[in-house]
Amino acid sequence: MKKITFHLMFIFFLILNGCANNHNDSDPNADSQGNTSPTKITARTNARVAQELLFQDNQDFEDAQKGFIASNPNLKIKNSRGEFVWNQEDYNFIKGDAPASVNPSLWRQARLNNIHGLFKVTDGIYQIRGYDLANMTIIEGKTGWIIVDPLTAKETAATAMALARKHLNDKPIMAILFTHSHLDHFGGALGIITPEQAKKQNVRIIAPQGFMEEATSENIIAGVAMGRRAGFMYGMNLAHSERGHIDAGLGKAVANGTYGILKPTELIDQTSQEKIIDGVRFVFQFTPESEAPAEFTFYLPEKKTFCGAEIVSNNMHNLYTLRGAKVRNALKWSQYIDEAIELFGQAKIYIGCHHWPKWGNQRIINFLKIQRDTYKYIHDQTVRLFNKGYTPSEIAEEVKLPKSLQTAFNNRGYYGTIRHNTRAVYQGYLGWYDSNPANLNPLAPKQTGIRYVKLMGGADTVLKKAAILFDKGEYRFVAQLLNHLVFAQPDNTPAKNLLANTYDQLGYQSESGPWRDVYLSGAYELRHGAPEKGIDPKVLKKVLEQTPIPYFFDSMAVRLNAKKAEGKNITMKITFTDLNESYELILENSVLHHRKTKLNSQSTAGIRVTHDFFMDIVTGEVKIKDLIFSDKIKFDGNFIDLSRFLSLFEKPGGTFNIVTP
């Protein structure tokens, strides 16, 4: 039974703990993680940014602090094990002018995202910002509170709600709105109310059509890879410092807590759909396949307030997210913003599910138009260029926003960037292949690296030339050059150190928070190695409990070792005794299929188990060695076939190498 592998490794942004080796001591001024000093070239590059943008414009700072009521002065949030879920004090160093190791534009965004607390937007509308990546919006109804997007984690949501109850009336929760299907907008729901309380108090749970399917399934198939890559995108291993992680652009960071979900009682499935929620009139806009597969915005006519959910925010967003996800539809996204202008163009207040509000009708319309036109511009110009034969790399170099779209801070690439968003549009239409035959079947990186290094005269020659180019500030090319050397010779410490130093400089110059974190995470792992631990599904148990059973079998299918399974034909049955449901798993042609079957159907091997105990197996709360002795699981049929079947599945750990082969 040691081969039983029901673990699912899939949430996209849990902390990955690194191991220590290969410290870089080449720079006497390196910090504790080995990050080197910014070069003079990087300092000059960042200084130019400070001259190009209107840093004297303080409107965003006024908006971000307007209506301040209260905050936790020493905001530190821990989980039940005493581990930090959120530590705002880590960012206290972000003040004053940007150091040479940070792009001044990103530093400005980081200062704005440092502003945290409970804020009054207008009479009856409040927001808690800076307690998580997203905002919690609190709307006063006739008899209680309407909560919009209760943050990522149970712990941060509970702390935020306690702050609200301390400074506002302690009213009951009458409704919860989930604007879309990303975890940072629903994962903290159980921190403000339990499922039992919600049911007993008839709390209305309102979400867009498709919410539960998308919320529980986004990462279940590709989640191991997404989780590993998210460690880079959000700088999970980086120190919070002038040479480390400073901001995610969309907010400070993602809360690393315990996640849950509540099933909707009502769905929004069309635009202009209206609801009276605890005496407050809502007009909804249904916006699927935009920033999220399932999403809505809403308007409060009596308050003249538009909530843009996440189809607009105070930065350029992602058409493709670096953690890895399906490409988003730039054209639909732009069209939804245009539709919002038509529907809610009389708005005098804008609130979002990230960042700070805006006041004034003309300011809001201008903001919406800039966001609308940015996504449309990226879409249209990318399509124009690929129809002329340009490749993704060429398009990324070519497309620049017009001055009218690039000067507004609320449209800068703090999260998404024009370079990777153009690639997303290309991918959405034409896929990965750029039509050049040389790129149809290239060698793998290690084999490519070995051949390039040999042709360039060997490792020492490559390293010397790379050092010369580094001193000239050609960091992008040095990264490409040394990547070949590191993949050819992964134990070449001087090559890894120089590549890490190069990634430092690229990170320091990045305006995008995720780009900075990706570069600096690459540098970290070149110096310290890949993580020893993968992700822990226990923190997502409450979400997994709401995940449809077939999704788990889909995840098993993608973990089947095809070579081991070749020539084997096995049928296995799993019965959930408390659900009165049975599923048949069929292995043939090295492919696993599943289908729902009758409770009394026959199979050569099987398991009878409760859904709750199955979840304990999935999350690792029940040790594999204890299964055979448990009275909560029964094994039917041919035990040898069962054992042989379960031994064919891999348990990916989510610790694979990225910057080395």
For the chain, what is the mean pLDDT? 91
Q: What is the pLDDT of residue 476?
A: 98
Q: In this structure, what DSSP letter does residue 97 have?
A: S
Long-range contacts of 300-305, Cβ-Cβ distance < 8 Å, separation of 24 or more: 300/125, 300/139, 303/122, 303/123, 303/124, 303/125, 303/349, 304/346, 304/347, 304/348, 304/349, 305/121, 305/122, 305/125, 305/347, 305/348, 305/349, 305/350, 305/351
Residue 600, C-beta contacts closer than 8 angstroms, at least 6 positions apart: none
Per-residue DSSP letters for 176-243?
EE--BSSGGGTTTGGGT--HHHHHHTT-EEEEETTHHHHHHHTTTTTHHHHHHHHHHHTTTTS-BSTT
Taking the C-alpha atoms of residue 396 and residue 35, their distance in angstroms, rounded to an integer, is 28
Q: What is the pLDDT of residue 642?
A: 72
**Which domains, and CATH codes, for the chain?**
40-430 (3.60.15.30), 439-528 (1.25.40.880), 541-646 (3.30.1050.10)
How far apart are the two ends of the chain, measured CA to CA in Å? 33
5: pLDDT confidence band, cut at 50, 70 and 90?
very low
Q: Is 111 left (phi over 0), alpha (psi -120 to 50) or beta?
A: alpha
Q: For a pLDDT cut of 70, what percent of the chain falls above it?
A: 95
Residue with the two structure tokens 């974190």:
517
Q: Which of 117, 172, 178, 112 is nearest to 143 (CA)?
A: 172
pTM check: above 0.85: yes
- HSE, CB side, 13 Å, CA atoms: give it for residue 521: 28
For 581, the token pair is: 């449901």
Note the pLDDT tens digit of each residue in 22-71.
334 457 888 888 999 999 999 999 999 999 999 999 999 999 999 999 99
345: pLDDT confidence band, cut at 50, 70 and 90?
very high
Q: Is 235 left (phi over 0), alpha (psi -120 to 50) or beta?
A: left
Note the pLDDT tens digit of each residue in 537-580.
777 778 888 888 898 888 889 999 999 999 999 888 999 999 99
- HSE, CB side, 13 Å, CA atoms: give it for residue 341: 19
Tell me, what amino acid is at 188?
Answer: G
Taking the C-alpha atoms of residue 191 and residue 430, their distance in angstroms, rounded to an integer, is 43
For 434, the token pair is: 């750029």
Taking the C-alpha atoms of residue 174 and residue 197, their distance in angstroms, rounded to an integer, is 11
475: pLDDT confidence band, cut at 50, 70 and 90?
very high
Q: Is 431 left (phi over 0), alpha (psi -120 to 50) or beta?
A: left
Q: Is pLDDT above 90 for 16?
A: no
Q: What is the pLDDT of residue 4?
A: 32
Residue range 509-532: mean pLDDT, rounded: 96
Q: What is the pLDDT of residue 10?
A: 28
Q: What is the pLDDT of residue 25?
A: 46
For 409, the token pair is: 């801070």
Q: Is pLDDT above 80 for 263?
A: yes
Q: Which of 511, 297, 542, 276 is nearest to 416 (CA)?
A: 511
Count CB neighbours of 31 within 10 A: 15
Note the pLDDT tens digit of each residue in 633-644.
888 876 677 778
Taking the C-alpha atoms of residue 618 and residue 311, their distance in angstroms, rounded to an integer, is 34
Q: Is pLDDT above 80 for 602?
A: no
Q: What is the pLDDT of residue 624?
A: 64
Residue 599, exposed/middle/buried by CB under 10 A (0-12, 13-18, 19+)? exposed
* Four-point Cα dihedral 235, 14, 222, 354, nearest 10: -70
Q: What is the pLDDT of residue 238?
A: 96
287: pLDDT confidence band, cut at 50, 70 and 90?
very high
Note the pLDDT tens digit of each residue in 499-509.
999 999 999 99
Q: What is the pLDDT of residue 311?
A: 98
β-strand pairing of 136-140 with 173-177: unpaired
Q: For a pLDDT cut of 90, what percent of the chain falls above it?
A: 78
List the single range of 534-538, 595-599, 634-638 with lowest mean pLDDT. 534-538
Taking the C-alpha atoms of residue 327 and residue 383, their distance in angstroms, rounded to an integer, is 15
294: pLDDT confidence band, cut at 50, 70 and 90?
very high
Q: What is the pLDDT of residue 486?
A: 98
Q: What is the pLDDT of residue 44?
A: 97
